[in-house]
Amino acid sequence: MKIGMSEGSVVTWNDQEIKKYPTKNSILPFITDPLLAEKSGTVPLTEVPRLMLPFVPPKIICLARNYSAHAVEMGIDPSKLPPFPPLFLKPPSSVIGPGEKIVIPQQTREVHHEVELAIVVGKRGKNISKENANEHIFGFTILLDITARDIQSKAKEKGHPWFVAKGFDTFCPLGPMIVTSDEIKNPHSLSIRLKVNDEVRQDGNTRDMIHKIDHIVEYCSSILTLEPGDIIATGTPEGVGKFDHGDRLQASIEKIGTLTIGVE
């Protein structure tokens, strides 16, 4: 099942049909109340709906350095990576959706793209074991972890948190839809790509993740309670780089689709 937003309604579709739900502005009631599915109308699918931003998550947890080749390009020896992945948060206010634009803040001269597979949490949980992780995963979407690299480098030098480089408004494009986990049997075999103005910059595969998804859910939930609608971004493959005003970013993950975002 694929899920997105269209003109204020939550829409879901499969190969044959599309359902519309009267929920506005948030997909959360749909996730927490599966009975909504019984209340909706079903119509034959004639075309994939034009999708808007899926929803604004309660929290967005991000992993850093979860692909060896990306760690290398950031100047880190992969053999010296810690046993648990470094984490940071992006604020819900940084989320934008398909067709919207990233605004480059005045404080930076070097904004980078990082395309990432994002887990959408479907069931509340704390201290979730690896074995039970799948029960808590609603589905997957695409996230762009936009980063002011010059600000991040200065923060790293001073030992300050990275939040200042990651939390600007518009720095978390999300979408274009959520694909439920039953449609993605193996999330560790998906091609993951990013193009800037049709030039391929990142071209990886989720098989190269260092920490796998069950471990990520176990580790994150050992720190905080995961809630329905939370997002966990699983790190970026190599090829991160600068983009500029007027560029167009296309982030694609196999079985999910393409998230297209402009730059103001």
Count residues binding Mg ion (CB under 5 A): 3
Whichever of 51 and 64 has its CB closer to Mg ion, that residue is 64
Write the binding mask 218 to 237 for Mg ion: x where contact by CB under 5 A, - elsewhere: ------------------x-
Nearest distance, CB of residue 239 and Mg ion, angstroms: 12
CA 201 – CA 243 distance, rounded (Å): 10
- Residue 238 touching Mg ion (CB under 5 A): no
Residue that is written with structure tokens 């007027």 in the block: 246
Give the pairing type, strands 111-113 and 147-148.
Answer: antiparallel
- Contacts of residue 248, Cβ cutoff 8 Å, sequence gap at least 6: 196, 197, 260, 261, 262, 263
Shortest reach from residue 240's CB to Mg ion, in Å: 8
The two tokens of residue 128 are: 């979730």
Cis peptide preceding 228, ω within 30 of 0 = no
Nearest residue (CB) to Mg ion, 145 versus 238: 145
Cβ-based neighbour number of residue 134 at 10 Å: 13
From the list 31-39, 97-105, 107-115, 186-194, the region that binds Mg ion by CB under 5 A is 107-115
Q: How far apart are CA 163 and CA 79, in angstroms?
A: 25
249, two tokens = 């970013």
Amino acid residing at 28: L
Stretch of 35-43, 111-119, 154-162, 218-226 contacting Mg ion, by CB under 5 A? 111-119
Region of 50-58, 90-98, 106-114, 214-222 interacting with Mg ion (CB under 5 A): 106-114
Compare residues 114 and 214 and give the one whose CB is closer to Mg ion.
114
Decide whether 31 or 63 has the Cβ nearer to Mg ion.
63
Q: Which stretch binds Mg ion (CB under 5 A): 22-30, 75-83, 137-145, 153-161?
A: 137-145
Mapped onto helix, strand or coil, the DSSP state of residue 127 is coil
Which of 114, 230, 238, 247 lies at the binding interface for Mg ion (CB under 5 A)? 114
- Pick the stretch among 20-28, 30-38, 109-117, 197-205 that binds Mg ion (CB under 5 A): 109-117
Q: Which is nearer to Mg ion, 70 or 136 (CB)?
A: 70
| Residue 250 bridge partners (DSSP) | 195, 260
19/195 with CB nearer Mg ion: 195
Are the C-beta atoms of 45 and 34 separated by less than 8 Å? no
What whole-number distance in Å separates Cα of residue 78 and Cα of residue 204?
A: 17
Selected from 2, 49, 70, 145, the binder of Mg ion by CB under 5 A is 145
Residue nearest to Mg ion (CB): 145
Q: DSSP 3-state assignment of 144?
A: strand
Give the rounded distance of the alpha carbon of 35 from its chain centre: 26
Nearest to Mg ion of 181, 236 (CB atom): 236
Q: Which residues bind Mg ion (CB under 5 A)?
A: 114, 145, 236
